[in-house]
Amino acid sequence: MFHGSIPALVTPFKNGAVDEAAFAALVERQIAGGSAGLVPVGTTGETSTLSTEEHKRVVSLCVEVAAGRVPVIAGAGSNSTDEAIDLVAHAKAAGADAALVVCPYYNNPNQDGLYAHFRAINDAVALPVVLYNVPSRTVVDLKPETVARLAELPNIVGIKDATGDMDRVTYHSALIGDLEQFVQLSGDDPSALGFLAMGGAGCISVTANVAPELCAAMHMAFHDGDLESARAIERRLIALHRAMFCSPSPGPAKYALSRLGLCAPEVRLPLTGPDDAARAMIDEAMALAGINT
């Protein structure tokens, strides 16, 4: 189903508004660079500062530009179950292939609440859903036992795991069984190669915004059984993986893309862009990866 390098796309801004032309160009660049899918309006897409209308427009634009060449997994999460259902319903109407639904943030639900949230989405909209577990942002952790319960539902098809805890890949596998019916995607670039080795299928990546070809090549090398090449590519990328979070994301990714002339470095408050030290770190990481500016 979903596999390989899948960028969590930035949402470029120009003078405070969504820069649709720049976004469309970024989508084309990702497809040309070998990315195996696209995630608009996830965390990296600054969904928390987009209006509902902007959110839906970016999803529709991504689907329109991709035109079926690669799958689109639309960000559609919220801390409100009703709002999440509305966003998933829009993703389906827009023609997205799946929805990426984050655990409800701020509310701090227990595991029963998390199960009920995702079950309500499963029951309301007939669209594949990829669970998104990122406790560092949501406070709550979707436990493997709850993931296994959710995997029994017909529209729950996988998980983006951004815990960095690679043994969860094996634990999920042990609890769920047939992983062909449940796709595990990493949400943590520095551990993505290890995640693949543990049985994961791919990575929803921040770094791929900046280095789509390299990220795609690493996944392809691994899936071709060429571990030596995959490791060599990761050595080129590791500084960039780290630099993407040297200040609040997606500021570093947008700065790097601005250095490539692809979009403005604008982020929306309460985020601010990288400071001088962070920009120097990003510049150095891009140079180490062989990305020319």
Q: Coil, helix or strand for 17?
A: strand
Alpha-carbon distance of 195 to 186, in angstroms, equals: 6
Q: Which of 144, 132, 209, 128 is nearest to 177 (CA)?
A: 144
Confidence class of residue 293 from pLDDT cuts 50, 70 and 90?
confident
DSSP 269: T
pTM: 0.97
Q: Would you say 243 and 207 are in contact if contact means Cβ atoms under 8 Å apart?
A: no
Q: pLDDT tens digits, residue range 73-127?
A: 999 999 999 999 999 999 999 999 999 999 999 999 999 999 999 999 999 999 9
Fold classification of 4-226 (topology level)? TIM Barrel (3.20.20)
The whole-number average pLDDT for the span 259-271 is: 98
Domain assignments of the chain as residue spans, ordered by start: 4-226
Q: What is the pLDDT of residue 179?
A: 62
Confidence class of residue 181 from pLDDT cuts 50, 70 and 90?
confident
Q: Would you say 271 and 46 are in contact if contact means Cβ atoms under 8 Å apart?
A: yes
Q: pLDDT tens digits, residue range 24-53?
A: 999 999 999 999 999 999 999 999 999 999
Percentage above 90 pLDDT, the chain: 96
Q: What is the pLDDT of residue 232?
A: 98
The CA–CA distances, whole Å, from 49 to 11, 18, 45, 100 equal 11, 11, 9, 17
CB atoms within 10 A of CB 176: 19
Q: What is the pLDDT of residue 292?
A: 84
Which residues have a catalytic role annotated? 132, 160
Question: Which residues are bridge partners to 183 per DSSP?
Answer: 158
Confidence class of residue 180 from pLDDT cuts 50, 70 and 90?
low
Q: Coil, helix or strand for 293?
A: coil
